[in-house]
Amino acid sequence: MTTTITPLIAGNWKMNGLRGSLDELTALAGMLTTGEAPRAVVVICPPATILAAIARQGASAGILAGGQDCHAAPSGAHTGDISASMLVDAGAQYVIVGHSERREAHGESDADVRAKAEAAIGAGLKPIICVGETEAQRDSGQALDVVAAQLAGSIPDAAELHEIIVAYEPIWAIGTGRTPSNDDIAEMHNSIRDKLVQRFADKGASVRILYGGSLKPQNAREILAVDNVNGGLVGGASLLAKDFYTIISAV
> Which one of 147, 154, 235, 241 is in contact with ligand PEP (CB under 6 A)?
235
44, 188, 224, 234: residue in contact with ligand PEP (rule CB under 6 A): 234
Please list the residues that pair with 97 across neighbouring strands: 129
Rounded distance, CA 45 to CA 62, Å?
A: 14
214 binds ligand PEP per the rule CB under 6 A: yes
Element (H, E) at 147: helix 143-154
d(CA 103, CA 177): 21
Of the pair 90, 237, the CB lying nearest ligand PEP is at 237
Name the one range near ligand PEP by CB under 6 A: 54-62, 71-79, 228-236, 242-250: 228-236
- Catalytic sites, residue numbers: 99, 169
**Residue 190 and residue 94: Cα distance in Å, rounded?**
24
CB within 8 Å of 194: residues ≥ 6 apart: none
Q: Which of 165, 174, 209, 241 binds ligand PEP (CB under 6 A)?
A: 174
* DSSP state string for 158-184: GGGTS--EEEE--GGGTTTS----HHH
How many residues comprise the chain?
251
User: How far does Cα 134 stand from its chain's mean position?
Assistant: 18
The binding track of 4-43 with respect to ligand PEP, each residue x by CB under 6 A or -, is --------x-------------------------------
Radius of gyration of the chain (CA): 17
137 binds ligand PEP (CB under 6 A): no
Of residues 214 and 249, the one with the C-beta less far from ligand PEP: 214
Quick check: 215 binds ligand PEP (CB under 6 A)?
A: yes
Residue 204 lies near ligand PEP (rule: CB under 6 A) = no
Q: Which amino acid is at 169?
A: E
Q: Which of 175, 194, 201, 218 binds ligand PEP (CB under 6 A)?
A: 175
| Candidate ranges 74-82, 86-94, 143-151, 208-216; the one touching ligand PEP (CB under 6 A) | 208-216
3-state secondary structure of 63: strand
236 near ligand PEP, rule: CB under 6 A: yes
The answer to whether residue 169 forms part of the interface with ligand PEP (CB under 6 A) is: yes
- Size, binding site for ligand PEP by CB under 6 A: 13
Q: Whole-number minimum distance, CB 162 to ligand PEP, in Å? A: 22
Measured at the CA of 186, the angle between CA 183 and CA 187, to 5 degrees, comes to 85
Binding residues vs ligand PEP (CB under 6 A): 12, 169, 174-175, 212-215, 233-237
